[in-house]
Amino acid sequence: MFEVGDRVVYPLHGAGVIEAIEEREVLGERHRYYILRLPVGDMRVMIPIAAARQCGLRPVIPAERVPAVLDRLGDPVPPMDPNWNHRYREHADKLRTGDVLEVAAVVRNLSARLRERGLSGGERRLLDQARQILVSELALASGVDREAMDALVERRLQGEPSATPPADRAGGADARAGSSDGGDAVRP
């Protein structure tokens, strides 16, 4: 069970912070909900506590895993199905897993396809969604702001092997534990 202040990832939406735990009546039934604040668009999402696991809600990765995720962006792109509809379904399935390495693979694959041949409208939206999810988690994990992390992801996609979070900020959530900026340590 998560607590207020925990940093979590909600698949297909991205990373955010649990702002509250509230009991609400929905369709005549009372349930407890996590109120998750997502930084993109300052969106708030209600997630039933009883269904959090089935929804794929999970903790943000620890800061130590950020370099491995960035490395995934530089891995060779595997051969892709020439049919855009098949590619879209394959990548959407990876995105739905909520696994950060799978999300990074989607960003890598679709970014390469965009540079080489372009993307269908659906694939372009999927790339934008995957990139937002990836950047939001890596930024929360590493303590780097979203704009800086997006630039870092772009540099890594362009092949810069040294593109890693700045050393003084790579402490991420653990380095911010107990700080006055609301940062709490990520629990396993």
Q: What confidence score (pLDDT) does residue 165 get?
A: 65
- H-helix or E-strand spanning residue 22: strand 14-26
HSE-up (13 A, CA, CB side) for residue 161: 2
pTM equals: 0.82
| The one-letter amino acid at 98 | G
* CA-based nearest residue to 73, from 91, 100, 40, 92: 100
> If you count them, how many residues does the chain have?
188
Count other Cβ atoms within 10 Å, centred on residue 17.
19
Q: What is the pLDDT of residue 39?
A: 82
What is the SS3 assignment for 89?
Answer: helix
Q: What's residue 162's pLDDT?
A: 63
Task: Of 67, 39, 34, give the one whose Cα is nearest residue 182.
Answer: 39
- 3-state SS, residue 181: coil
Series of mean pLDDT values for 10-residue runs along the chain (188 residues):
95 93 91 92 90 94 96 93 93 94 97 93 95 96 93 92 55 38 35
**CA-to-CA distance for 172 and 188, rounded, in angstroms?**
14
The reported pLDDT for the residue numbered 109 is: 97
The dihedral built from the CA positions of residue 10, 13, 16 and 17, taken in this order, carries a sign that is negative
